[in-house]
Amino acid sequence: MSVHHNPPFRAEIVGSFLRPDSIKKARDAHHEGRISHPDLRAIEDEEIRKVIAMQESVGLKVATDGEFRRSTYSENFTTQGLTGVRSEHVGGGDWAYSDGQGGKRAARVPVVSSPIRWQASVNAPDFTFLNANVKTALPKITLPGPCYIHYRSGRDNISRDIYPDLADFWSDLAKAYHAEMKALYDAGCRYLQLDETSLAKLGDPKIQKALEARGDDWRELVEVYTDAMNAVVDGAPKDMHVAMHLCRGNQAGHWQAEGGYDLVAERLFKKVRIQTYLMEFDSPRAGTFDPLRHLPSDKMVVLGLISSKVPQLEDRAHIRQRLDDAAKIVPLDQLALSAQCGFASSVPGNPLTEADQRAKLELVVSLANEVWG
């Protein structure tokens, strides 16, 4: 069975880009009351036009707004678009992010204290602006995956008074996603990406141990989380292409988990009703390509072989060889190429420059053109 590629494209992006200094300064000024919200919005508008133009100029056929209006990849939907959820930057221990050299960063922990309801789409107006400013690319917008809240919070941070039965929590959450997807669709969105990092982390023994300590069995969560993904995806409008991005955490060059997809791949590929997977494969932390053997013939994987975490530009021949290696397991027609994650899942961004960022995008596009034409 053949797969189509429009979307996804052979040269893809995950979503976020480094925030320009003008946006960081404007956000600080707005927080301190020195400029108004319309003033902040105008500065964001100008920089979003620039980042759209940058994406189109390197030859990408897909573009995002760089998530320039967001503080993190998840916060605008989780804590602004929904009632009942707040986020606390307190996660430490096994939940902390590491840079592999002893550096640590705390993880955000969502807390559910009242019923989850969709209240309004923060993203739909943002998409409208993106859609109005693309010239040659298809606009894409991202949402955090539905498993994020439970994975970070655990049962103890989801009110038992509000949700004595977690099935009701998952049901309310899916309904909120359905409302958000309809609002985005009505705004013109036809390409949506769900950033679902939780499933990829379940293969890490350290994460498995941390889950066990709070009373969760990772094996059961594979089923719970894939059920949650299906509940959300089943509510998408019929002609909205929904893709799924997986990684192991991305915060200022730090990550939360290590380990391959081996333990979750079969359920991920065969059970989840998603056609496109954007998957982190840029380092040994992500494991081998072997789990791709479970990919059905009508689905597609975008290989995240280019690191968004480091400034060094990958060797072209090495990435080409990696593509050839993956094609020994999955037909080349079912593959595409991207960076492994966004360049700035939160405002600080990863430790590279805008020039480094552009060079990596140019490499993705050039290789995609070379391999697939």
- Confidence category of residue 258, pLDDT binned at 50, 70, 90: confident
In a domain, 318, yes or no: yes
User: What are the distances in angstroms from CA 221 to CA 32, 200, 295, 300, 365?
Assistant: 42, 12, 21, 24, 36
Over the stretch 82-99, which tens digit does the pLDDT of each residue have?
Answer: 999 998 766 555 666 555
**54 contacts 344 by C-beta, under 8 angstroms:** no
The reported pLDDT for the residue numbered 2 is 55
- Confidence category of residue 245, pLDDT binned at 50, 70, 90: very high
Closest residue by Cα to residue 304 from 200, 221, 152: 200
In a domain, 3, yes or no: no
In a domain, 279, yes or no: yes
Over the stretch 166-215, which tens digit does the pLDDT of each residue have?
Answer: 999 999 999 999 999 999 999 999 999 999 989 989 989 888 998 999 99
In a domain, 367, yes or no: yes
In a domain, 49, yes or no: yes
- Confidence category of residue 297, pLDDT binned at 50, 70, 90: very high
Task: Report the CATH number at residue 308.
Answer: 3.20.20.210
pLDDT at 1 over 60: no
pLDDT at 293 over 70: yes
Domain that holds residue 290: 21-372
b/e burial code for range 80-106 (CB count within 10 A of at least 16 → b): bbbebbebeeebeebbbbbeeeeeebe
In a domain, 205, yes or no: yes
In a domain, 6, yes or no: no
Dig out the tokens for 36 from the structure: 């108004």
The reported pLDDT for the residue numbered 256 is 67
Total count of domains within the chain: 1
What number is the average pLDDT over the span 365-371? Answer: 98
pLDDT at 158 over 70: yes
Over the stretch 21-65, which tens digit does the pLDDT of each residue have?
Answer: 999 999 999 999 999 999 999 999 999 999 999 999 999 999 999
pLDDT at 373 over 80: yes
Bond prior to 296 in cis (omega within 30° of 0) = no
**182 contacts 143 by C-beta, under 8 angstroms:** no
CA–CA dist 179, 120 (Å, integer)? 9
In a domain, 9, yes or no: no
